[in-house]
């Protein structure tokens, strides 16, 4: 008999301000250890001392659980932010985003996509045909949730990433998030860089080339970052897509490949 899975989600805050979050999807027997690890992570958030850490545990309906394979991973080394953003536009175009829409998305993240140039909690949904924003709440955005890897896949993934000096939790978590996005109905591509002022690597992900890291997508010290998901509304509706991203549980049971690093792909930029 297949065991039930549970979604475990943590969010840490201070004076009502969101500090950090994390989530897993695990069998019943692992809930205790995962709640403990996520709580500890919330308490030790680099963003500041948390005065509240909430963990929520929710049983997943097995009939709604989807299995998928993680995208391939590759890294492009670029010389500076300008080259990184040019490359991001080039990769987005390759994935099927019109160049003006790709440029608009890069500028949006560079300026801060939330109201008044703030950082959003979730992702921007962008109509790939028009560049129109589709997320109902531009402060919150869309929170991609309910995704993880199976235990066997976790072992393989950790080994694979560590073998390529990509063992940081940040990489595996972003890869899983991008994997869920790429498996979404109507997903054309995703653009992301972190709001962590000291983490300057970002990525473009697309079904055709997987998860492509770009070594520099912002300047060190810049607190702005975010995610843009480009959607083709000729194959899905906004409601269907948001329901999938936020509610449908997806477990990755296998990894993709790690492809060799390349230098900037300047020819495409």
Using CB under 6 A as the binding rule, the residues of this chain from 135 to 164 that contact ligand AMP are: 142-144
Which are the contacts of 150, defined by CB distance < 8 A and separation ≥ 6?
Answer: 251, 252, 253
Stretch that binds ligand AMP, among 24-32, 91-99, 188-196, 250-258 (CB under 6 A): 188-196
Nearest CA to 204 among 70, 75, 69, 68? 75
Q: Long-range CB contacts (< 8 A, 24+ apart) of 219-222?
A: 219/81, 221/197, 222/197
Residue 30 C-beta: closest distance to ligand AMP, Å: 21
Report the DSSP beta bridge partners of residue 191: 204, 228
Residue 3 C-beta: closest distance to ligand AMP, Å: 25
Query: Under the criterion CB under 6 A, does residue 70 sit at the interface with ligand AMP?
Result: no
Binder to ligand AMP among 86, 194, 248, 255 (CB under 6 A)? 194
Binding characters for ligand AMP, 206-245, by CB under 6 A (x = yes): -------------------xxx------------------
Stretch that binds ligand AMP, among 7-15, 91-99, 194-202, 258-266 (CB under 6 A): 194-202
Residue 202 C-beta: closest distance to ligand AMP, Å: 8
Q: For residues 120 and 269, which CB has a smaller minimum distance to ligand AMP in the complex?
A: 120
Residue 157's alpha-carbon distances to 74, 150, 235, 253, 261, in angstroms, are 14, 10, 31, 10, 18
Residue 147 C-beta: closest distance to ligand AMP, Å: 9
Q: How many residues bind ligand AMP (CB under 6 A)?
A: 17
Using CB under 6 A as the binding rule, the residues of this chain from 15 to 34 that contact ligand AMP are: none
Using CB under 6 A as the binding rule, the residues of this chain from 88 to 127 that contact ligand AMP are: 119-123
Query: Under the criterion CB under 6 A, does residue 186 sit at the interface with ligand AMP?
Result: no
Nearest CA to 122 among 187, 47, 192? 192
Residue 109 C-beta: closest distance to ligand AMP, Å: 9
**73, burial (CB in 10 Å: exposed 0-12, middle 13-18, buried 19+):** buried
Rg of the chain (C-alpha set): 18
Q: For residues 121 and 154, which CB has a smaller minimum distance to ligand AMP in the complex?
A: 121
Query: Under the criterion CB under 6 A, does residue 179 sit at the interface with ligand AMP?
Result: no
Q: For residues 76 and 269, which CB has a smaller minimum distance to ligand AMP in the complex?
A: 76
Name the residues that contact ligand AMP, by CB under 6 A: 119-123, 142-144, 174, 177, 192, 194-196, 225-227
């Amino acid at each position: 008999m297949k065991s039930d899975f549970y979604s475990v989600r943590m969010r840490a805050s201070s004076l009502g301000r969101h500090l950090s979050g994390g989530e897993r999807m695990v069998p019943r027997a692992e809930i205790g250890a995962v709640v403990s690890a996520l709580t500890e992570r919330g308490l030790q958030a680099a963003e500041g001392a948390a005065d509240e850490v909430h963990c929520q545990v929710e049983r997943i309906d097995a009939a709604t659980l989807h299995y998928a394979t993680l995208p391939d991973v590759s890294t492009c080394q670029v010389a500076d932010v300008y080259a990184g953003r040019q490359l991001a536009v080039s990769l987005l175009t390759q994935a099927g985003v019109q160049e003006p829409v790709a440029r608009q998305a890069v500028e949006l993240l560079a300026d801060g996509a939330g109201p008044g140039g703030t950082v959003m909690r979730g992702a921007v949904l962008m109509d790939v045909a028009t560049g129109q924003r589709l997320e109902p709440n531009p402060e919150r955005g869309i929170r991609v949730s309910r995704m993880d890897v199976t235990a066997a896949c976790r072992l393989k993934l950790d080994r694979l990433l560590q073998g390529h000096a990509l063992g940081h939790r940040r990489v595996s978590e972003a890869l899983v998030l991008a994997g869920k996005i790429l498996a979404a109905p109507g997903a054309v591509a995703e653009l992301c860089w972190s709001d962590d002022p000291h983490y300057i690597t970002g990525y473009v992900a697309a079904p055709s080339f997987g998860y492509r890291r770009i070594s520099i997508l912002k300047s060190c010290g810049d607190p702005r970052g975010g995610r843009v998901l480009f959607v083709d509304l000729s194959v899905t509706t906004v409601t269907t897509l948001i329901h999938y991203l936020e509610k449908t549980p997806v477990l990755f049971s296998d990894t993709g490949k790690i492809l060799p690093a390349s230098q900037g792909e300047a020819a495409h930029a």
